[in-house]
């Protein structure tokens, strides 16, 4: 049996992860990271990292009779908010949850585990760790509707190989049943479905506060430059957006790109957003050695998206050598700044960040 630090969010998934590990006989320690602004988080009922979540995590730890620690990393979390705003300001689509996993959560818990003498870090993510001859592999959770392996694709292999995901072999109803049988106080708690620092899912509110210069009135144009209307800020639009454009058109129009330099939002047809090619920066291979390229695999470009067959190889993007992805079939609205996760079946080969011209 091992000593395991469990990242307890105050939700049912991480609570059951702790419960299962204790049942297996491991020495379990619970820890909660306070990341966001308490006052801001209090406005939301379905976000994570609130004061209420910390209280719930401690209640579960008390129920399980395990040690529990709470750490405040709100100052370090400022890096994620700055990244989020900067990406929108640069006309990209950020993925703050994946960046937080990469830059803060897993890194911090990994260090805390070492400080506490723990051999592993466990979380409530719906993902699995499979053992291969040369080391562990990250794989999709068995509950495909809840699978979170996509958000873990950019976490370094050195960290992930020391992680456990106890609920990854379960489906959500089974997790609820285990929580009920163990009489955990969070058994009926609703899931967090919002970005923890974005009140009521209104990301424009965050941009308005942090970067008001990017929410100035400008032109909405088509791809030829013809003016179609006026917007209240280019950073309030995302690639592929169709609703809320405020224009009249005889056929559906979608956001093709936003332009910081000209303060324009460019619209086009759906066909204009069908693409077969992009690049991946900061490629993170989740295995001891990078695979031989070119490689046939599948790629997923958004959470909940369908993996698409592709070939990956080395290529050059703006003078830099990056992973190049060639899709068998076009994908709609490939957004620069999002995660691209590469799979071989259910196994995550690695992941990085989408770059495109």
Q: Give the angle subtended at the CA of 297 by the CAs of 295 and 301, to the nearest 5°.
A: 120
48 is catalytic: no
Q: Are 46 and 192 in contact (CB under 8 A)?
A: yes
13, containing H or E segment? helix 12-23
Strand partners, 339: 353
* Nearest CA among 242, 233, 173 for reference residue 207: 233
CA 190/CA 228 separation, integer angstroms? 42
CA 319/CA 126 separation, integer angstroms? 38
Burial class (CB in 10 A: 0-12, 13-18, 19+), 187: middle
Contacts of 65 (CB under 8 A, 6+ apart): none
Select which of 97, 196, 297, 310 is catalytic: 196
Query: What angle, rounded to 10 degrees, do the helices at 203-210 and 74-89 form?
Result: 90
CA 240/CA 354 separation, integer angstroms? 15
Query: From the centroid of its chain, how far is CA 206?
Result: 18
Backbone angles phi, psi at 200, to 5 degrees: 55, 30
Strand partners, 114: none
CA 90/CA 79 separation, integer angstroms? 16
- What is residue 47's three-state secondary structure? coil
Q: Give the angle subtended at the CA of 337 by the CAs of 334 and 342, to the nearest 5°.
A: 65
CA 205/CA 201 separation, integer angstroms? 9
Select which of 100, 163, 297, 310 is catalytic: 100
196 is catalytic: yes
Catalytic residue numbers? 100, 196
């Amino acid at each position: 049996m091992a000593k395991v630090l469990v990242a307890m969010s105050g939700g049912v998934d991480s609570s059951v992860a702790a419960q299962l590990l204790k049942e297996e006989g491991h020495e379990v320690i619970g820890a909660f990271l306070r990341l966001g602004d308490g006052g801001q988080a209090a406005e939301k009922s379905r976000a994570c990292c609130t004061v209420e979540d910390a209280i719930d995590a401690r209640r579960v730890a008390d129920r399980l009779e395990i040690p529990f620690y709470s750490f405040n990393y709100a100052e370090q979390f400022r890096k994620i908010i700055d990244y989020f705003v900067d990406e929108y300001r640069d006309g990209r689509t950020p993925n703050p949850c994946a960046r937080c996993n990469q830059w803060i959560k897993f890194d911090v818990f990994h260090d805390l585990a070492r400080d506490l003498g723990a051999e592993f870090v466990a979380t409530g993510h719906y993902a699995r760790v499979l053992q291969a001859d040369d080391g562990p592999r990250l794989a999709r959770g068995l509950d495909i509707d809840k699978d979170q392996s996509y958000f873990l694709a950019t976490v370094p292999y050195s960290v992930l190989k020391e992680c456990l995901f106890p609920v990854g072999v379960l489906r959500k109803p089974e997790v609820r049943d285990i929580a009920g049988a163990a009489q955990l106080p969070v058994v009926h708690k609703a899931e967090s479905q919002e970005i923890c620092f974005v009140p009521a899912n209104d990301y424009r509110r965050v941009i308005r506060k942090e970067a008001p210069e990017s929410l100035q009135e400008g032109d909405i144009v088509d791809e030829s430059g013809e003016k179609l209307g006026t917007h209240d800020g280019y950073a309030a639009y995302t690639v592929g957006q169709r609703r809320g454009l405020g224009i009249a058109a005889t056929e559906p129009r979608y956001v093709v790109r936003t332009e910081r330099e000209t303060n324009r939002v460019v619209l086009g047809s759906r066909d204009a957003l069908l693409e077969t090619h992009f690049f991946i920066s900061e490629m993170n291979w989740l295995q001891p050695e990078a695979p031989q390229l070119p490689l046939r695999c599948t790629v997923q470009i958004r959470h909940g998206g369908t993996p698409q067959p592709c070939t990956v190889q080395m290529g050059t993007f703006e003078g830099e050598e990056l992973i190049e992805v060639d899709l068998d079939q076009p994908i709609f609205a490939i957004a620069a700044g999002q995660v691209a996760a590469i799979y071989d079946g259910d196994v995550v080969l690695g992941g990085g960040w989408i770059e495109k011209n």
